[in-house]
Amino acid sequence: MRTQVAIIGSGPAGLLLGQLLHRQGVDTVILDRASPDYILGRIRAGVIEQGFADLMAEAGVADRLAAEGERHDTVEISVDGVYHPIRLAELTGGKHVTVYGQTEITRDLLAARAAAGLPGFYGAENVTPHDMATDHPYVTFQKDGLNYRIDCDYIAGCDGSHGICRMHIPKHRIHEYERIYPFGWLGLLSNTPPVNHELIYAKHDRGFALCSKRSEMLSRYYLQIPLTDRVEDWSDARFWDELKRRIPEDAADRLVTGPALEKSIAPLRSFVSEPLQYGRMFLVGDAGHIVPPTGAKGLNLAASDVNTLYRILTKVYREGRHDLTARYSEIALRRVWNGVRFSWWMTDMLHHFVRDSIEDKIRDSELSFFLSSPERRRIIAEQYVGLPYEAVE
Ligand code: RFL
Ligand code: PHB
């Protein structure tokens, strides 16, 4: 089998890239080791930058996002129970974010790919990229006991943080930067009305908490917990009690609780692999970098990588600009490092590290400095709504 771009990974990065390239007449095949149902079962991101929403529109898959996504002009930071609104639109000249779940983004993209009849292999085993440093890369895999080989011009490694594409880059051609945080997030999804219209990022002596949502009857909450805790340690009742203690009093008073539809723990880490390419293979999204979720940047950085690669490949196929492929990593990484820094900063400012340490006192002081004037809050707002995408020329 032959295609122009073999896409490994059918998460939001792989699917969005496939859809955008399809609209430019570029052929793709998508391979994923999981099934579509499994992919849709993962509860992850919820905050979409405008650049990402615009890209979904360019891909022709933004109808439901526009109709059901909720526009947010403000985000709340609470410190020991006191609100500090960050008025995103007011501070950034009208920019905002949209609350629309990653699950729904993925559902829309999978539906569009199926409707266009584009090829994909789910439940693909032993997916392996080959000969990326030559002009004739290919991918092999097995499915239902049969062996497959896909010859292609380029390979897009969109296979997430546990993917295999990065592993196939020789060690001496890649540098990996990593920071592991000494805590995790316990997330809970429930069929209850969200406690607040705006998201609340709550810094508290007992630890960080986040109040988020998916819709008017679907809430998503997170608690900072020690890495040694297991999901079984947290009954629904214990989760709700702890959440109430960390959020502002008025929110705790109106919090509607209910049984958890899903509860899971995510460890927090910052990770970047440099460069994001090896020959004719590109790393896109979580395959090349991870951020802690506090800045809501992971999925949005995946989208900005897709934007860069899609614009480069469009110029390659339409204008013969083969010179541009060598620049993918450099362009994508500029924005990635900014997101990595902002996510690290938000995590650092809002979480509790070591009680009564000088570092925690300095963090408190730095956060109150940044919350203390519109000019300083603007610095947070501009990054939260997302920096502009860099042009590819
Ligand atoms: P994905 O979504 O992990 O998709 C990768 C796909 O590759 C497949 N795969 C393989 N296929 C074939 N062979 C192999 N060997 C393979 N290995 C893996 C997998 O089955 C999968 O289908 O990566 P992608 O597309 O790069 O998307 C990245 C996002 O999923 C991620 O950055 C976000 O979810 C991060 N994130 C958030 N991002 C935001 O922008 N805003 C948020 O509010 C936000 N909240 C979050 C988050 C991530 C979280 N967790 C659980 C890590 C909240 C949480 C709790
Ligand atoms: C979410 O709704 O899952 C969410 C929102 C904002 C974040 C992280 C996760 O910063």
**Per residue in 166-202, pLDDT tens?**
999 999 999 999 999 999 999 999 999 999 999 999 9
Q: Which pLDDT score is estimated for 150?
A: 98
**Per residue in 204-214, pLDDT tens?**
999 999 999 99
Give which of 75, 76, 77, 78 is closest to 95, Cα–Cα: 75
Query: Helix, strand, coil shares of the chain as percentages rounded to 5?
Result: 40, 30, 30
Percent of the chain with pLDDT over 70: 100
Banded model confidence at residue 51, pLDDT cuts 50, 70, 90: very high
Mean pLDDT of the chain: 96
**Per residue in 224-276, pLDDT tens?**
999 999 999 999 999 999 999 999 999 999 999 999 999 999 999 999 999 99
Banded model confidence at residue 373, pLDDT cuts 50, 70, 90: very high
Cβ neighbourhood burial of 218 (10 Å; 0-12, 13-18, 19+) = middle
For the Cβ of 285 lying below 6 angstroms from any atom of ligand 1, the answer is: yes
For the Cβ of 187 lying below 6 angstroms from any atom of ligand 1, the answer is: yes
CATH topology of domain 5-72+98-177+269-352: FAD/NAD(P)-binding domain (3.50.50)
Classify residue 322 by its DSSP letter. Answer: G
Give which of 27, 17, 272 is closest to 157, Cα–Cα: 17
For the Cβ of 292 lying below 6 angstroms from any atom of ligand 1, the answer is: no
Cβ atoms 329, 276 nearer than 8 A: yes
Write out the two tokens for 3. 């295609």
pLDDT at residue 43 tops 80: no
Beta-carbon count within 10 A of 227 CB: 12
- Cα separation, 38 vs 32, in Å, equals 11
pLDDT at residue 153 tops 90: yes
What mean pLDDT is predicted for residues 22-37? 97
What mean pLDDT is predicted for residues 148-153? 98
Banded model confidence at residue 45, pLDDT cuts 50, 70, 90: confident
Cβ atoms 246, 119 nearer than 8 A: no
What mean pLDDT is predicted for residues 117-132? 97
Give which of 309, 307, 297, 310 is closest to 336, Cα–Cα: 297
- Ligand nearest to the CA of residue 103, numbered in listed order: 1
**Per residue in 293-320, pLDDT tens?**
999 999 999 999 999 999 999 999 999 9
3-class SS of residue 39? helix
- Ligand nearest to the CA of residue 299, numbered in listed order: 1
Banded model confidence at residue 355, pLDDT cuts 50, 70, 90: confident
Cα dihedral: 10, 16, 17, 21 (round 10): 120
Distance from the alpha carbon of residue 318 to the mean position of ligand 1, in angstroms: 30
For the Cβ of 32 lying below 6 angstroms from any atom of ligand 1, the answer is: yes
Q: Name the residue ranges covered by the structural domains of the chain.
A: 5-72+98-177+269-352
Q: Which pLDDT score is estimated for 223?
A: 98
Distance from the alpha carbon of residue 296 to the mean position of ligand 2, in angstroms: 6
**Per residue in 68-121, pLDDT tens?**
999 999 999 999 999 999 999 999 999 999 999 999 999 999 999 999 999 999
Q: What are phi and psi of 118, to 5 degrees?
A: -85, 145
